[in-house]
């Protein structure tokens, strides 16, 4: 019997193919790994409402890391606890003011599974929120009265660099920011010191799994800490160069069943 491992999956660009589905080969490999006694979990920048269907599709029974570590919880067992680390409301409002000065295309503020939009936008609602409607939209300064989990900013492409610089100079101590990959130039802002590794550590402690038995798969800059933290950090073939540089190894891309190929090999799942 293999010692129990914790297998951590990023969603977009990693487990999910480009059309946002999980391949049959990936599903089969993950099911076989679970039969061997290994634990499978998701660690994503997405909110729970936009990752729940994949959690259910894989039949998972583990905690999940959402918002890159700002929200860590167990959908099925309350005894795990809920770890929500939102940013300060005053900071959030200052950031929103900065973004308004740049006349950004839109701002989305998320508080766990509720979200608020600066401007009503069907594309954002359908792309990021599975068709779920915002609680409200309009002047976020007036609407918001709770500490937000995350702020997503959709700047004009030519403002992306300048806006990021300004946010960094003004708020680096209190918030961390990431940029999403094309085609969406989105800036994602969460409280500082949060990342997927922070959430995974809580889950590993809960199951008493040492770091050397954690295998993590990722492709983007929000996976850097997790790939570095895991005993075995695996970059996808389509991953950014920075991630490949720090990963222990690289597998095939998300379109080529990279996760399945790696797990079949390492756990002899043939």
Closest by Cα among 136, 205, 178, 206 to 10: 178
In the set 10, 12, 176, 223, the catalytic residue is: 10
223: annotated active-site residue:
no
Residue tagged 């969406």 (tokens) = 184
DSSP character at residue 153: E
Given a contact cutoff of 8 angstroms between Cβ atoms, the answer to whether 15 and 54 are in contact is yes
Residue tagged 């009265």 (tokens) = 145
For residue 256, count CB atoms less than 10 angstroms from its CB and return exposed for 0-12, middle for 13-18, buried for 19 or more: middle
Spatial distance between the Cα atoms of 109 and 132, rounded to a whole number of angstroms: 14
User: Max Cα separation, the chain?
Assistant: 59
Listed in sequence order, the residues at least 6 apart from 25 whose beta carbon sits closer than 8 Å to its beta carbon are: 257, 260
183 preceded by cis ω (within 30°)?
Answer: yes
Which positions are annotated as active-site residues? 10
């Amino acid at each position: 019997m293999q010692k129990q491992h914790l297998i951590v999956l990023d969603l977009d660009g990693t487990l999910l193919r480009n059309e946002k589905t999980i391949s049959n080969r990936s599903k089969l490999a993950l099911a076989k790994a679970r039969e061997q006694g290994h634990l499978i979990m998701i660690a994503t920048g997405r909110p729970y409402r936009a990752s729940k269907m994949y959690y259910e599709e894989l039949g998972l029974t583990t905690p999940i890391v959402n918002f890159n570590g700002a929200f860590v919880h167990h959908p099925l067992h309350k005894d795990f606890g809920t770890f929500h680390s939102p940013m300060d409301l005053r900071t959030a409002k200052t950031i929103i003011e900065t973004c308004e000065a740049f006349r950004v295309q839109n701002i989305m503020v998320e508080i766990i599974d509720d979200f608020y939009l600066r401007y009503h936008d069907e594309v954002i609602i359908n792309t990021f929120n599975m068709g779920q409607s915002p609680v409200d939209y309009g002047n976020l300064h007036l609407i918001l009265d709770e500490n937000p989990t995350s702020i997503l900013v959709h700047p004009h492409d030519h403002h992306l660099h300048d806006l990021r610089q300004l946010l960094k100079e003004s708020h680096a101590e209190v918030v961390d920011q990431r940029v999403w990959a094309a085609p969406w130039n989105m800036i994602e802002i969460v409280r500082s010191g949060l990342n997927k590794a922070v959430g995974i550590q809580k889950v590993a402690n809960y199951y008493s799994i040492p770091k050397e038995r954690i295998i993590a798969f990722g492709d983007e800059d929000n996976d850097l800490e997790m790939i570095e933290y895991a005993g075995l950090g695996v970059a996808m073939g389509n991953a950014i160069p920075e991630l490949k540089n720090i990963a222990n190894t690289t597998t095939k891309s998300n379109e080529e069943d990279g996760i399945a190929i790696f797990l079949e090999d390492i756990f002899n799942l043939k």
